[in-house]
Amino acid sequence: MKKLQLIASMMLGLAAAGSVSADAGKDTYTKVCAVCHAGGIAAAPRYGNAADWGPRIAKGVPTLYQSALKGTPKGMPAKGGNLTLPDASVKAAVDYMVAAAGGAKAAAEPKADAKKEAKAEPKKEAKPEPKKEAAKEAAKEEAPKAAAAPAPAAVAAAPLVQEGASAADVNSFNRLLKPAGKRNLPPPEDGIHDPANDGTHALQPPLAAFGSLPKSFAGNRVNWVEAIGSGKIKPRWDRTDLTAEPIVMDMNVVREVKGSMPDVVYPHKQHTQWLDCSNCHPAIFTPQKGANQISMASILLGEKCGVCHGKVAFPVSECRLCHSKKKDLVKPATAAAR
Ligand code: HEC
Ligand code: HEC
Ligand code: HEC
Ligand code: HEC
């Protein structure tokens, strides 16, 4: 756990340079949220579309803040995938989108339920039309307001802390988060299998099982890609049908990375040897090159590639396995010349 957090803070440090911006809702929207909310990527409610937003606004603006801050199971990444954003900026961006969908009226309803909504409301009325100047003014006023209201913020944060805690529990099975000496313990001691079950004692301990397999320097120390490639293991594709074979698709998708990190090569081959197309498409990734917004922040949060990597596949610390394509050094110069 600690290690992952450490890497997480490292990564956030890296990402921070490009992402910290003014506290203006519009600014945050344009830089972070618009990628999905402008056109409705992955069924995100579209900017300025009252029909998309109406039912959501009816849930109350505080609920929307929480969705935006924590993410939703249906594809809204926490803070739009950019964890370096201050909470106030994310909320301001929500306000900005709610206002653009004509939300001030609809948001007035849940007023009676929560005090914090009463505070959120005047903000929106201060900028009914997202005109450049007006929006900036409103956003300027907004930031101190949000900062000056610590009490309601604390109330809103309370359930979030619980959510976070249970999310950590969900991960407790994760061998890779344990200190190296505590990994791959015999099944009765690993905290995953039930020691009261006789079958648990019949299982081969991982260390013995892994002994003859090709080594790696991370995760559970086995190079699984090589293990399957060299025929050392042959996982059964179908539990009952011994003859069933996977449909292995050899197609690489290159994802260009801004900055100095080498580009990411996503290989379908190594994945489809183990996984069915439906393990990833469409729930985790839209099957279209570049259609998915992927960031290190979301991966570290256990989304996108992070659904598996760091849990059941090699961990995020192995940068070069994913960032494997050296940048064409001539390219930036040509680009600049244009
Ligand atoms: C990677 C795409 C993506 C980005 C970037 C993104 N969103 Fe979303 N957002 C979604 C999707 C998809 C949904 C619909 C999810 C759902 O129905 O739960 C959504 C829903 C929402 C909702 C409604 C949640 C609800 O409970 O109904 C809010 C509010 C929201 N986003 C705010 C933001 C803000 C603010 C940002 C920028 C800081 C942002 N989003 C960036 C994809 C994105
Ligand atoms: C481990 C997850 C995973 C699995 C399993 C997987 N894919 Fe993909 N697929 C991806 C990713 C990631 C992308 C790139 C998306 C992007 O660039 O936004 C992609 C892209 C695609 C594309 C678009 C390629 C392009 O150039 O536009 C197609 C088509 C596709 N996958 C088909 C399949 C099929 C068919 C299978 C099963 C044989 C499969 N995928 C299995 C993750 C997966
Ligand atoms: C559904 C689970 C899943 C998702 C999602 C997933 N992977 Fe993987 N990935 C695996 C598994 C399983 C392996 C093979 C075992 C291993 O190497 O740990 C693998 C292997 C790889 C390899 C091969 C490494 C080698 O040694 O050749 C690369 C590269 C990789 N993944 C990159 C990615 C990237 C980039 C993404 C996101 C775009 C991604 N993966 C998403 C499960 C997943
Ligand atoms: C499981 C595969 C995987 C691993 C491991 C991985 N990355 Fe990434 N990384 C990605 C993907 C995918 C992207 C998004 C590329 C894009 O923009 O499409 C990315 C993007 C980035 C970016 C661009 C900024 C951002 O947050 O999107 C940086 C910087 C980065 N990675 C650094 C690292 C470092 C440092 C490590 C090792 C500690 C690492 N990555 C490990 C897959 C990976």
- Of 197, 196, 227, give the one whose Cα is nearest residue 213: 227
Does the beta carbon of 269 sit less than 6 angstroms from any atom of ligand 2?
no
Q: pLDDT value at position 46?
A: 92
- For 104, 181, 183, 204, 233, the CA distances from 209, given in Å and listed in that order, are 61, 17, 14, 6, 11
Architecture of domain 197-322: Alpha-Beta Complex (3.90)
Name the residue of 248, 265, 277, 321 whose CB sits within 8 Å of the most ligand 2 atoms, as the mutation to test its pocket: 277
Does the beta carbon of 313 sit less than 6 angstroms from any atom of ligand 3?
yes
The whole-angstrom separation of Cα 22 and Cα 139 is 9
The whole-angstrom separation of Cα 312 and Cα 298 is 17
Does the beta carbon of 7 sit less than 6 angstroms from any atom of ligand 3?
no
The rounded percent of the chain whose pLDDT value lies above 70 is 68
Q: pLDDT value at position 15?
A: 37
Which atom of ligand 1 is closest in space to residue 35's alpha carbon? 5
When mean pLDDT is compared over 4-8, 81-85, 326-330, the highest value belongs to 81-85
Q: What is the pLDDT of residues 101-137, one digit of tens each?
A: 987 554 444 443 434 444 444 444 444 444 444 444 4
Residue 125 Cα to ligand 3 midpoint, Å, equals 47
3-state secondary structure of 215: strand
Q: What is the mean pLDDT of the chain?
A: 74
- Of 100, 183, 94, give the one whose Cα is nearest residue 146: 94
Q: What is the pLDDT of residues 137-174, one digit of tens each?
A: 444 444 443 333 333 333 333 333 333 334 445 555 66
Does the beta carbon of 222 sit less than 6 angstroms from any atom of ligand 3?
no
Q: What is the pLDDT of residues 231-271, one digit of tens each?
A: 999 888 988 998 888 888 999 999 999 888 999 999 999 99
- Of 285, 294, 282, give the one whose Cα is nearest residue 81: 294
- The amino acid present at 26, given as its one-letter code, is K
Burial class (CB in 10 A: 0-12, 13-18, 19+), 107: buried
Q: pLDDT value at position 134?
A: 42
90: pLDDT confidence band, cut at 50, 70 and 90? very high
Name the residue of 264, 268, 307, 321 whose CB sits within 8 Å of the most ligand 4 atoms, as the mutation to test its pocket: 264
The whole-angstrom separation of Cα 296 and Cα 77 is 12
Q: pLDDT value at position 73?
A: 74
pTM: 0.58
Task: Quickly tell me which residue has 């397999």 as its tokens.
Answer: 213
Q: pLDDT value at position 185?
A: 85
Residue 200 Cα to ligand 3 midpoint, Å, equals 29
**Domain layout of the chain by residue ranges:** 2-170, 197-322
Residue 288 Cα to ligand 2 midpoint, Å, equals 7
Which atom of ligand 4 is closest in space to residue 255's alpha carbon? 18
Q: Is the preceding omega at residue 205 within 30 degrees of 0, hence cis?
A: no
Of 316 and 10, the one with more pLDDT: 316
Q: What is the pLDDT of residues 29-70, one digit of tens each?
A: 988 888 779 888 778 899 999 999 999 999 999 999 999 998
Q: What is the CATH code of the structural domain delimited by 2-170?
A: 1.10.760.10
Which atom of ligand 2 is closest in space to residue 248's alpha carbon? 38
Which atom of ligand 2 is closest in space to residue 275's alpha carbon? 5
Which atom of ligand 2 is closest in space to residue 255's alpha carbon? 17
Instruction: Note whether 2-170 and 197-322 share their fold.
Output: no
The whole-angstrom separation of Cα 28 and Cα 96 is 9
The whole-angstrom separation of Cα 310 and Cα 295 is 15
Residue whose CA is at the smallest distance from ligand 1 atom 42 = 76
Does the beta carbon of 279 sit less than 6 angstroms from any atom of ligand 3?
yes
Residue 218 has pLDDT above 60, yes or no: yes
